[in-house]
Structure 1
Amino acid sequence: MAKRLTKAKAKELYARLAKVRPDPKTELDYVNPYTLLVAVVMSAQATDKGVNRATAELFKTVNTPEKMVAFGEEKLGKQIQTIGLWRNKAKNVIALSEALIANHNSEVPHDREALEALPGVGRKTANVVLMEIFGEGTIAVDTHVFRVANRTGLADGKTPADVETQLMRITPPAYLHGAHHWLILHGRYTCLARKPECPRCVIADICLYQPKTRAIASTKKPAPSGAKSKKR
């Protein structure tokens, strides 16, 4: 079993991330709970910036399930064709909009089971909505959160579900609401997939990522050419 952080170390890790970003928020642009749900569905295998570019004009006028259904799948597809899997996403957004109208009085439900029953909505999307809109202490595990959690030692899961379970156990209640944002933003801007920027990382001394120590060491200036080593 891989090494894991203690609860005390985990608390310190979150405290430092919280100090850097005291008010963490999603980087997806939205105007109401419905548009957040749509944006999160569109963000699968796409960047937040890409989704924001595709929805900037759309959400100015198409911001309710009724308006989306009237807008139609074809027009929606053309509007979001710059993001990945746009055909399937357009289909799902129209279908989930119809489901909201038919089953939830056009409102985004505050219920995990109801959310996950909507077309295109999985556990990750449901967690984001429950956290961002309803203030629940949930942790959505995307590729960034999965990577950061396993690298740091907050978790050692092989699946997103495993990592979510472990994060929910080790994350202090005081940091639970912001945990998803802190981890995803840390992964997006510091703990990069190919080359984590460990030398400027605020949790480098806590993190259990082993190659990290070599990355930090490499920032030290080499000894002058011909310098003699000190005898012990």
Structure 2
Amino acid sequence: MKTTKPTPKAAKRRKVDPELIRQLFERFEQDKPEPKTELNFVNPFTLTVAVALSAQTTDVAVNKATAPLFAIADNPADMLALGEEKLMRMISSIGLYRNKAKNVMEMCRILLAQYDGDIPLNRAALLSLPGVGNKTASVVLNELDIEPAIAVDTHVYRVSHRLGLVDASANTPDKVEAALMKAIPKPWLNRAHHWLILHGRYLCVARKPKCEICIVRDLCPKIGVEFTPLL
């Protein structure tokens, strides 16, 4: 009987190991028990605005722009009073600032007209706001302890695959998010996003991961395969 050889892609696919996940997140928790977003905010409105502004921009750049902005406009009414032109000037140092300013202004109008100026704290309503996509909604709901969620950016995507938290079939951000939500035990779900993004931002970077100082280097499936072996 003729047998079919596994394709290279199938041969590389490994099963997700629950014990590995447990050890990884125990290590993350020991290192940083209460991780938080690096975006500065003072209330749900400023959090939502900051996260929306952070698309394709660093948190450092957003914080620099929003420090003077939120000092004078930390609610929809005051933000609208600034006017779109002034808002654009105040956030002109971040990417896509024109379109982001337009979305923030329209978001403020909707919040005042439909939600008494408050940010609606449920996913469907958040997704209806201009400039708020699934990733932004996930960050807001998770940060405010409304709903455990894992927003998958390039850092989370990269780290999830490198550490074996997801298998090769999770080849889109949405699939990675679904796989992580299923695989990570509940006690760690509301902090997992922060641990993964911080690990990818500062240690497990794209081109030259800092394996020599990595807190989970002895657990990493990639050590000795793609990266320089540790001595």
The answer (yes or no) to whether the contact 2:107–2:129 under 8 Å persists in 1 is yes
Which structure would you say has the larger Rg? 1
Could you tell me the TM-score, scaled by structure 2's length? 0.90
Q: Which runs of 5+ in 1 are unaligned?
A: 221-232
Q: Which runs of 5+ in 2 are unaligned?
A: 1-9
> What do the CA deviations read for 1:66-122 (whole angstroms, capped 9, x no partner)?
111111111010001111111111111111111111111111111101101100000
Q: Which residue is 2:125 aligned to?
A: 114
Give the distance between the partners of 1:193 and 1:127, measured in 2 at CA. 23
Give the distance between the partners of 1:171 and 1:150, measured in 2 at CA. 14
The answer (yes or no) to whether the contact 1:4–1:154 under 8 Å persists in 2 is no
The answer (yes or no) to whether the contact 1:135–1:177 under 8 Å persists in 2 is no
Matched, 1:149 2:160: yes
The answer (yes or no) to whether the contact 1:96–1:118 under 8 Å persists in 2 is yes
What are the equivalent positions in structure 2 for 1:20-169 lying under 5 Å apart? 20-156=31-167, 157-169=170-182
> What do the CA deviations read for 1:36-84 (whole angstroms, capped 9, x no partner)?
0000000000000000000111101100011111111110100011111
Give the distance between the partners of 2:36 and 2:97, measured in 1 at CA. 25
Give the distance between the partners of 1:214 and 1:120, measured in 2 at CA. 38
The answer (yes or no) to whether the contact 2:217–2:223 under 8 Å persists in 1 is no
* Correspondent of 1:200 among 213, 217, 220: 213
2:228 match: secondary structure: helix
Deviation, structure 1 residue 162: 0.2
Give the distance between the partners of 1:98 and 1:41, measured in 2 at CA. 16
Deviation, structure 1 residue 4: 3.6
The answer (yes or no) to whether the contact 1:199–1:215 under 8 Å persists in 2 is no
* Percent of aligned pairs with the same amino acid: 49
Deviation, structure 1 residue 179: 0.3
2:182 match: secondary structure: helix
Give the distance between the partners of 2:16 and 2:208, measured in 1 at CA. 22
The answer (yes or no) to whether the contact 1:115–1:121 under 8 Å persists in 2 is yes
Aligned residues: 218
Give the distance between the partners of 1:22 and 1:70, measured in 2 at CA. 40
Deviation, structure 1 residue 164: 0.2
The answer (yes or no) to whether the contact 2:103–2:131 under 8 Å persists in 1 is yes
Deviation, structure 1 residue 208: 2.0
Point out the more displaced range, 4-13 or 144-153: 4-13
**What amino acid is aligned across from residue 188 of structure 1 in structure 2?**
R
Give the distance between the partners of 2:187 and 2:227, measured in 1 at CA. 33
The answer (yes or no) to whether the contact 2:80–2:108 under 8 Å persists in 1 is yes
> What do the CA deviations read for 1:153-195 (whole angstroms, capped 9, x no partner)?
1013211100000000110101011000000000011000111
Deviation, structure 1 residue 136: 1.9
Give the distance between the partners of 1:24 and 1:172, measured in 2 at CA. 17
> What do the CA deviations read for 1:134-157 (whole angstroms, capped 9, x no partner)?
342111111111111111110132
